[in-house]
Amino acid sequence: MTETDLMEKIVSLCKRRGFVYQGSEIYGGLAGTWDYGPLGVALKKNIENLWWRQFVSSRDDMYGLDSSIVMPEVVWAASGHLEGFTDPMVECAKCKHRFRSDQVEGEHCPECKGKLGKPKMFNLLFPVDLGSTVGASRGYLRGEIAQGMFVNFKNIIDSFHPKLPFGIAQSGKAFRNEIAPRDFLFRVREFDLMEFEYFVNEAEWEKWFEYWRNEMWGWIESVGIKKDSVHELNVPEDERAHYSKRTIDFEFDFPFGRKELYGLAYRTNYDLSKHMEKSGVDMQYAEEDGSKFVPHVIEPTFGLGRTVLAVLASAYTEDELGGEKRTYLKLKSAIAPVKAAVFPLLKNKPELVAKAREVYQALKKEIPQVMWDDNGNIGKRYRRQDEIGTPWCITVDFETLEDDTVTVRDRDTGEQERVPGIELGAKLSALLAA
Ligand code: GAP
């Protein structure tokens, strides 16, 4: 399978099985927007919840936040995004098509061969007019969610009096007016981000940078992204964001090339100092001995859409089972959108259907994301569940009616085991927790 094939197969599976659809598709689609269908939103939320558990709720040093998407112009002026959040763009003199300068070679437009103009800097922030008088008050959809953490720094300090080091974390939408959205979920105009700002004493920034670097590798493993396909890149100074003194990109071998998946940045005390200057609010942290300083920041950032794509590319598998070709998603059970599917062996036998319904209802109370499936024959159901990454299929057959045991089929091996119905919930819960 070539890499282009793999990408086409992933996009097609996502649409066919209800993971991801083109945004506003019935009107021809809006470039750079994608809509998550029932299975996609389940997968995305499972990843987000896993991230939240791993980095926020299981820790004592992390404070959760859900800040507003629209923020006033002054925030972006202070943070430097009004000036610095730009990509170089070239426009074709003939067809007016715009490209990111780093995505075209030579002086001519790849589509119509027209002459490309000189590169101009293009700001990625989306402006919004607030209130009824156009232009009365300018806001922006947040281009990064980090600014929500910085503008709430003092609130968290005043409410919780945390000791350094501590972090403020959130996940949510970010918006960027990308010049050339492309590669499915990879470069879009509206996307979900999960990130935190970890506030430290300046003297300790390197220690915490290394700590979070390791934790990020731990996350890559726990979410089920192939570790061998992830590579660190030390971003050179001239390519770093305006606020960063050191950045490591975690790049992934996507089917369309090796590209940024996550970032880890040392933002110094740049943002808090700028907000302190612009707002006049004291952003200093006071030590017990009374000394005061503006803390420095380590920022691990995780694009959620890119995580979904890297997880799908890592999980997509084709093999042969029982002499038949099949496609399956080898997803970690913690993030699989459906954990278990329950079927009656035959759907025209009322006693089997009734028993299977009973098993289904009982299991739903014990584990999340259980699905009922009685469409087509059993082989088709297995194939369908394999394709969406369901780790376990439970079949209720004639033996169940006699001894209350069901079969549990493992997605990866196709092997089946008979389990007493009464033990099913506990068994799957234990597997899920493993
Ligand atoms: N607060 C830091 C920050 O926003 P960034 O490198 O500009 O850093 C963070 O973006 C992450 O967001 C990236 O590592 C990537 O995973 C994701 N990302 C950035 N632009 C994106 C886009 N246009 N579409 C999808 N994901 C994007």
| Most ligand 1 atoms within 8 A of CB, residue of 76, 260, 308 to mutate | 260
What's the CA-to-centroid distance between 224 and ligand 1, angstroms? 20
Q: How many CB atoms lie within 10 A of CB 228?
A: 8
The model's confidence at residue 310, banded by pLDDT at 50, 70 and 90, is: very high
Question: Six-digit token pair at 269?
Answer: 């005390």
Please, which residues bridge with residue 140 across strands?
71, 127
What's the pLDDT at 126?
A: 97
Per the CB < 8 A criterion, the answer to whether 373 and 387 are in contact is no
What's the pLDDT at 98?
A: 87
Q: What percent of the chain shows pLDDT beyond 70?
A: 99
Helices 304-315 and 38-52 sit at what angle, rounded to 10 degrees? 110
In this predicted model, what pLDDT tens digit does every residue of 162-207 receive, in sequence order? 999 999 999 999 999 999 999 999 999 999 999 999 999 999 999 9
Radius of gyration of the chain (CA): 25
Q: Is the shortest distance between the CB of 271 and ligand 1 below 6 Å? A: no
Q: Indicate which residue's Cα is closest to atom 22 of ligand 1.
A: 187
What's the CA-to-centroid distance between 418 and ligand 1, angstroms? 46
What's the pLDDT at 187?
A: 97
Q: Is the shortest distance between the CB of 301 and ligand 1 below 6 Å? A: yes
Q: From the options 3.40.50.150, 3.40.50.800, 3.40.367.20, 2.170.190.11, give the CATH code of 338-433.
A: 3.40.50.800
338-433 matches 3-75+126-312 in CATH topology: no
Q: Is the shortest distance between the CB of 187 and ligand 1 below 6 Å? A: yes
Q: Is the shortest distance between the CB of 262 and ligand 1 below 6 Å? A: yes
Q: Is the shortest distance between the CB of 263 and ligand 1 below 6 Å? A: yes
Across 355-386, b (16+ Cβ under 10 Å) vs e yields bbeebbeebbeebebbbebbeeebeebbbbbb
In this predicted model, what pLDDT tens digit does every residue of 31-76 receive, in sequence order? 999 999 999 999 999 999 999 999 999 999 999 999 999 999 999 9
pTM for this model (two decimals): 0.96
Across 254-280, b (16+ Cβ under 10 Å) vs e yields bbeeeebbbbbbbbbbbbbebbbeeee
Which residue do the tokens 């389940």 mark?
42
Instruction: State how far the Cα of 407 lies from the Cα of 419, in Å rounded to an integer.
Output: 6
| Most ligand 1 atoms within 8 A of CB, residue of 20, 123, 306 to mutate | 306
* Ligand 1 atom nearest residue 146's Cα: 1
| Bigger pLDDT: 24 vs 88 | 24
Q: Indicate which residue's Cα is closest to atom 14 of ligand 1.
A: 262
The answer to whether residue 135 scores a pLDDT higher than 70 is: no
Instruction: State how far the Cα of 101 lies from the Cα of 82, in Å rounded to an integer.
Output: 20
Q: Is the shortest distance between the CB of 305 and ligand 1 below 6 Å? A: yes
Least confident of 20-24, 132-136, 249-253, 335-339: 132-136
Q: Is the shortest distance between the CB of 274 and ligand 1 below 6 Å? A: no
Q: Indicate which residue's Cα is closest to atom 7 of ligand 1.
A: 144
Query: Which three-class secondary structure state does DSSP give residue 338?
Result: coil
Per the CB < 8 A criterion, the answer to whether 32 and 189 are in contact is yes
Q: Indicate which residue's Cα is closest to atom 20 of ligand 1.
A: 187
What's the CA-to-centroid distance between 342 and ligand 1, angstroms? 39
**Mean pLDDT in residue range 318-338:** 95
Per the CB < 8 A criterion, the answer to whether 337 and 43 are in contact is yes
Please give the single-letter amino acid code of residue 42.
A
Q: Is the shortest distance between the CB of 146 and ligand 1 below 6 Å? A: yes
Q: Is the shortest distance between the CB of 183 and ligand 1 below 6 Å? A: no
SS3 content of the chain, % helix, strand, coil (to 5): 35, 30, 30
What's the CA-to-centroid distance between 259 and ligand 1, angstroms? 11
**Mean pLDDT in residue range 287-293:** 94
In this predicted model, what pLDDT tens digit does every residue of 145-170 receive, in sequence order? 999 999 999 999 999 999 999 999 99
Q: Is the shortest distance between the CB of 260 and ligand 1 below 6 Å? A: yes
Q: What is the assigned CATH class of domain 3-75+126-312?
A: alpha beta
Q: Is the shortest distance between the CB of 81 and ligand 1 below 6 Å? A: no
What's the pLDDT at 101?
A: 86
What's the CA-to-centroid distance between 91 and ligand 1, angstroms? 24
Q: Is the shortest distance between the CB of 178 and ligand 1 below 6 Å? A: yes
Q: Which residue ranges make up each domain of the chain? A: 3-75+126-312, 86-123, 338-433
Per the CB < 8 A criterion, the answer to whether 299 and 195 are in contact is yes
Query: Which three-class secondary structure state does DSSP give residue 95?
Result: coil
In this predicted model, what pLDDT tens digit does every residue of 208-263 receive, in sequence order? 999 999 999 999 999 999 999 999 999 999 999 989 999 999 999 999 999 999 99
Q: Is the shortest distance between the CB of 191 and ligand 1 below 6 Å? A: yes
The answer to whether residue 136 scores a pLDDT higher than 70 is: no
* Ligand 1 atom nearest residue 143's Cα: 4
Q: Indicate which residue's Cα is closest to atom 12 of ligand 1.
A: 303
What's the pLDDT at 2?
A: 77
